[in-house]
Amino acid sequence: MTANLEMVKEARKILEGNIEKTPIYTASRMGENLYIKMENLQKTGSFKLRGAFNKIAHLTDEQKKKGVISCSAGNHAQGVALSATRQGIKSYICIPSIAPLSKIEATRGYGGEVIIVDGTFDDAQAKAYELQKEMDLTYVAPFDDEYVLCGQGTIGLEILEQLPDVKYIVVPIGGGGLISGIALAVKSLKPDVKIIGVEPENAASMLASRKAGKIVTLDSANTMADGIAVKKPGVLTFDLCEKYVDEIVTVSEDEITNAILRLLEESKVSAEGAGASSVAAVLSKKFDFSDGKVCAVLSGGNINVNTISQIINQGLFKTGRLAEITTTISDKPGELIRLLTIIKDKGANIKNIDQFKSAETVGFDHAVVRIIAETYNKDHRRELYQALADAGYEESHVSRNK
């Protein structure tokens, strides 16, 4: 069996009424001709439901009676659990102990029987294979499966209907199931549409394999975009990417972070690192998209609240929206007011202030002051630092994040 357009069309019929036909959002504030396919609004918060549901729907009655098993630390687990529950099938999901509690509870909430495995994803996968043989279950692969990737390919059909004159479709790549399915569907109907894949710089296994002309395994895949942190692409997906994907680009961790922040602030959209990578590629101009409409597939929005907080804070510092000032002042009446007046006069807003003494760094008649202030941009922050330096405050402290 070889994945083809008819299989994608069949998947669409199976998925009708069971998944959301997600909207395409016009992101004009973020870029001219930029449109975003909002798979973060899909049930379970990511595209994974499409492939998992299609795969399980094709099981034999005997296989359905026995149940399915998979392993995942995130979106695939939830997709398999809900797909199986919707079709009245028992599901077992092996999840590594390092997975966030929120994702474990979400998987349980969708009806999956969660099996916590000490260690990493590889340990969970080994346990899943062990239980598959022991209990005669069907393993639902996260990407390297015809039915799974054809389910993901239904996104391509929707994009062509919703945005008929699209010229570029930008897709995140992990194991390759999403992009290979979309590319297969789109290229079969409109071969002139360019398919651009995006991987994190630290986990570019598909790009490395393309350059080598064969599948290669990375030594590591350390990235905040954990949904696409894959060391080795699939066999089926690699072949389809070689056939249909026009270009693969990479994005840095900072570029992913910036995309998450801009999506949240400018579009009020919550995106996980993997999902935001496609938007990051467009915002960072990794490819020339100037001559036509570009649709970035935002593949998922399951991001931890604590992670969002860290990203916002980091992003505000990197874009010059926050300034950190650590300096020394004389421990005398009026000295702190003098420092704060300079900050106020430069139009910055103080968010947090700490004053303390440290015998190791200052004398008994001085104090250390640490201030976090809001600024408009990097230029405004530089002006603030310069004003403080001109007033005699130690430049080595106030200029460290110029």
| Residues annotated catalytic, as ranges | 48, 299
244: closest CA among 173, 188, 165, 172?
188
Structure tokens at 401: 């994040």
Q: Which region holds residue 218: left if phi is over 0, alpha if psi is between -120 and 50, else beta?
A: beta
Question: For residue 78, what is the enclosing H or E element?
Answer: helix 75-86
Structure tokens at 11: 């998947």
Q: At what angle do helices 75-86 and 101-109 cross, to 10 degrees?
A: 10
* CB burial of residue 75 (10 Å; 0-12, 13-18, 19+): buried
CB atoms within 10 A of CB 63: 15
Q: Are 190 and 160 in contact (CB under 8 A)?
A: yes
Backbone angles phi, psi at 354, to 5 degrees: -130, 135
Question: For residue 70, what is the enclosing H or E element?
Answer: strand 68-71
CB atoms within 10 A of CB 305: 9
Q: Are 343 and 353 in contact (CB under 8 A)?
A: no
Structure tokens at 262: 């801009």
* CB burial of residue 216 (10 Å; 0-12, 13-18, 19+): middle
Structure tokens at 8: 């994608």
Calpha distance 47→310 (Å, rounded): 25
Calpha distance 269→358 (Å, rounded): 44
The single-letter DSSP state of residue 191 is T
Contacts of 207 (CB under 8 A, 6+ apart): 197, 199, 248, 250
225: closest CA among 176, 277, 178, 269?
277
Q: Are 215 and 237 in contact (CB under 8 A)?
A: no
* Residue 87 one-letter amino acid: Q
